[in-house]
Structure 1
Amino acid sequence: MRRFQKKGFPILLASTLMFTSGVLPSYAQDVATTKPAPAPVAVQDSKAMASAKISKDQALEIAKQTIPIPDGFTQRNIEFQSNWWGNQTAAWIVYWDKQTPPNYGHIHIVIDANDGHVLQVEMYNGENTKSTYPPKVDITKAKDIAMEYIQKNFPDKAKEIVYDDRYEQAAKPPLNGHVEYPITYKRQVNGIPFENNEIRINVNGDGKVVNIGYRWDDAIQFPSFDKLITKEQALKVYQEKVNLAVKQLSLWGPGVARTMKLGYMPDNTSYYYEPIYIRATDGSQVTLWGDEVKTGDVGRVVLSDKKLGELNHGKVTQEKAMEILKAHFELPKDENMIRASFREQWGETQTSVWEFNWEIRNEGMMNSWAMAAVDAKTGRILNYSNERHVIMEKEGVQQDQKTKITKEQAEKKAIELMKALHPDIAHQLYLMKMPRMPHEEVYNGRFQSFTFMREVNGISLEHGGIHVNVDMMTGEVGNYWFNADNLLISENKKKVMSPGEALEAYVARLDMPLVYVLPNEKPSLVPGAVKRNLEAMLVYQPRVKEFGEPVYLDAETGKWTHRETGQLVVESGSVTDIRGHRAEKELQLLLRYNVFDVENKQIKPDEEISRGEMIKMLVLLENNGYKVWYDEARSSTFKDVQKSSPYFAYIENAVERNWIDRNQENFKPDEKINREEMATMIIRALGFEHLAKIDNLFINDLQDADSIKAVGAAILISKLGIMETQEGKFIPQGTVTRADAAVAFSRYLSKRNELRY
């Protein structure tokens, strides 16, 4: 099935994924203290259970010995499956849970019913306990704790694993006490990691094991070969095969106004398979199912060499919209229409549309529905779907059935439909040639899907494919979907970096590890007919080195850019003027959260900061490095901080948080801030503003107290250890450098955790 995912989001690290138990339909007798009546057992499961070499009691004993069951957990039930989804083998699943508010947890352990091997362990031990910040253990110590746990509880596996450092490379330093390190080890065979088997031990900031994920399959076979292509050869194959294309994409993230940018990325509009594997034996590209991708399987064909006309439908009323639909699709009967509505703002393009919905009922039960949307300004059909529920079962083409049209005829029908619907952009539309997917083979060719892409001056839309689905049995178009963002691609030529430069920048961020992977099983409509893959593939797996953030290669600047903030991605180790600085650790922390603007690999740590910059720093730190944004409806609180100010959103956010007194006419954001102002703001951020104003509550031992207006804030912040005094003096009018702010904010985070959480 074609992928639809959050736009531009990078591949998630395998080390952070939690194993799940999937759908578990059949049950053996419960083994809880209070035994409910056992659920019915399917016939095939009953037979498999009777012939299983490992009994229920034996499975329970094996599970109990696998890991230490923490206090508070109760063993609830045991389930038997004749075809456990993870390995397609007979298995016992043993469950424990903890339901003592406010602490909850669950454990399930899967035992192979034929040989007693532990196939999977999943434990979540949730405890509502307060963690310390900074954490008592760092990731280095967490790795030691995780390995000790593995050596104790999985001693036979401890020598067969290799540490997966992807989480460590991508993770940011924590900002509060809720710290958890997912320490992941991949199974290693013949000195090569196996991506599908792993042991993950989650260690919290207090050094306690709180989660476990174990997946291991001893039945997998691992071929070894005398001759393999080199990593350099695999990289060359990738460079030759990858099609980097300029895509128009949206910056996205919390509170960010929709902004279109141009970025280089692999052209997945025309490609099903991601990640792309390179077979280590011969350098061939292979799919997730282990099939070789041949050169002739991919490509594209332009629909027309010229514009075919204009969209000229005149005023698009409801009746006109229906007329346009009937000209191109076989619609359900009028009496089946249940709704016709006008929507002022539709989709991300916020265009206005006419929407239509139909239902077809049989004896009072709905067995079919359809929907369509037509642009109310241009008359362009944006989508159409007619789902007959019987057909949705996709039973395929039986031997005694014949398709009404051929694949070639279906392709021609899809092309002619696109020309008719989009004459104004037909010369910019391409039919994307793709190899058949496994599900298409399963459905025996009944449904043919076609993807089209619009390209203007070498620029196409990210995830902007136009899709047409043709039913080969009826010859009808069952589904059509047009991403209206295609119409936002600019007709003006843009100056972008060359494909060669883009490829060089992309490859520089690329890793190419040699790994074993297990091909995905190919689907089947016949129960029990899915063949289990038991032989791993040896491949080179191209991976863009993770920044720990969603990023893209800006085609206009040539810089890696943060997808959510729009800021240039700066690796903390590349900043040159903080190495060896007295506040290097604190500066590094803030740098990882995009708090500083980096110019020429410098942040100038000893430069004094302004009032506006300090506000921006603290707001970004509180917001985990994400920008804040307000739309045009937001009015300015201060006369001298208008919407054009780079500090506008941050100052307004600080006003909302009550960090700033709004009862002043001007804020003077460009003035240098002093120590008293920073102390006042941090105390307000902690929520101690009123406490600091209570007379004689704190011992006043500041020698320069008479020169301090907010003396309570100065005393409190010095007593908390967030800001230091100098020979008993607070020096309220002293200026603040970036390094000073970094140290104070780092200490503020520690006290915030201690006092809030």
Structure 2
Amino acid sequence: MLKQWRVFPVLVLAFLLLAFVYPPSATAEEAGAFSLEQAIRLVKANFDIPQEYTNFTSNYDSYDGRQTWSLHWSAPSDGGSFHADVDARTGEIINMNTWRPAPEPGSSAGSPSVSLEAARQTAEELLNRLAARHVRELQLLPIDDQLIPLNNSGPPTYTFRWQRLVNGISFPADGATVTVRGDDGRVTNYSLNWTEADFPAAMGGITPEKARQVFAEAGMLELQYFLPAPVKPLAAGEKRPVLLVYRLSHPSQGLIDALSGQPLNLGNGAWFDSGGRSEVNLEMARKAAALQDGVPAKLLSPEELKEIEKTAKLISREEAVAAVKKWVDIPTGLTLRSANLYADWQDPEIRTWNLTWSSDSPENGKPGFMSARVNAINGELMGFDLPITSSGNDKEVKLDRQAARRLAEEFLQKVQPQRFKEVRLDENNPSGGAPTVQYFNYRRLVNGIPFSGNGINITVDAVAGRITSYNLNWGNFDFPAATGILDARQAVETFLQNRPLTLSYTRIYRPGSTDGGEIRLVYQPLGNSPFITSNMIDARTGQFLDWEGKPIGRQPRPYRFNDIAGNFAEKEISLLGQAGIFGEYKDAFHPDEKVTVVSLLRAMLMSRYGVWGYHDLKDGEILQRAREEKWLKENLEPGAAVSRELLAKFLIRYLNLERVARIEGIYRVPYRDSSSLNPETLGYAALAWGLGIIKGDGFTFDPAHDITRAEAAAALVRTLQVKQ
């Protein structure tokens, strides 16, 4: 989750930056757009979407003269997903990608069963079906030098790329890509980039020799020192190597105008390698949506129909723009660049229009862009942002903080009269910036208690005397009553019991200081344990909470077991404990206790995927994940004991060797009881013995023997050491 949260702002920023450089988009009505229903039918007519992908959502994007339906199907419990983008103006599928969890890491390693030629035929058939009118301008790029990874991270894949030729000249920004799995021949990715534009004639340009001369004389390459990013954590005292390189640093990014013979001017934040979409015969696309190869269109699911119904009730883009203009003056010279309709990531029931405006030729001192958000259900203004045009050195401040606050609150009383009664200004962060810019954070109050997760933020340009940003974050939640909680005194006692005030030195840094900070002697609440680092405790239980609101004591941590000294598996148990595995009893291991099915499977999952995400799963969820991994095929209770026979099966499946183990008539084992072993068990026992995973007592296999936690730990570590 955290990774997703970190990545999301980056993707949003990149998308907004793209929107600023594109020309205004036409309305969906002007383009004769495909409806959401037509888009769904088109995708389902061309691709098989697994029936278990019952979750369905859609987004509508409008930018660069293009309108796009983004359709997303997924399984309810992380069982895979299918995504497709349809150009709502042309009725053309422009992107598709699908993902399924690998049945088992390593299961698809090895030589692909689908040949390169067969995969290419599959890719070409798809391209001819989805982009027939573009094929004559596409050239397949060589695939001979493409690596086909054969590892444990997923199946081998073939990727085919076609580049567009215009007037016989390549246009790298445009083309098509198809990815085909090498194990079953399924297409997992398809994308088409196509630009509708006037291309200059290829006449009267400079020669390649002249371009080479211009490149050299312009100083495109600069000699630099370069510090690579680390690929692994550095050991104590280890330093990353510094490299001496030449780097392309020219403002043109290496582009030379072929007609003028001069480096291309890429100022004002411009960049190259942007793409577009194409037109296609709407009538043909509609027929394809209704009928594919003579087969009636597949029925829409209840979830898809529900999404269509929801979208039909939302306000239009024009109504969203009008909602912004009701409260905010859009600066002159700005043109609407994009209008995107999306579901809120925290609450999919909330739909929002995200609007952006920008100028092709921004003037100094005037806003060059603006963005705004509008609730697509009720037209409520959710936020807007304008650049602060005054510099930090401006001395003519029109508004002091009190005047800026009056301006902000007059605006809130108009745009949010009811919610303004339910917020309180956070005085703990009065400004957050220079006097030229004033920030105001109004926290939401519920039952008189601040709710920092919701509120309103406003920024005032104190020089220009105007509001430059407004953001409303307000959700619908069920708030528990403030009953049965610790009082203030109890909370302090509980907090300091685990983070006692400790006399210590600390360094104080101040803005603008160049003396390295000031050393002060202070008391500060330092934790008794290095694992207690939270600033929050549960108001009812007094437990410290992490950023997910879970008790901090349940976070993964290494274990130094205090009851394994002298045990035959001491080394292996310690290794697993250091990795945060087998921590059911905290710092005690209980080596002679019988290991349970759920304990062993949890340890196996943690050893393969890491402890995060598995340490706090419920027993039933662990068994389900083990079934998904195909390690668990028996009908067992979580607390059941693990026999030696079952241990061998679990670990051989972990190594993806079950198919080999099930071959009968080829195995011999050096056990006295080998003749009594079930023929179905013999292969597992032989492989486990041959790989050094399980030796039994050295004389007999004894398949019914209940495995102890120490024996399970030793066998698991030996399994991890098997070369795959």
TM-score (norm 1): 0.48
TM-score (norm 2): 0.50
Of the two structures, which has the highest relative contact order with CA contacts closer than 8 Å and spacing of 6 or more? 1
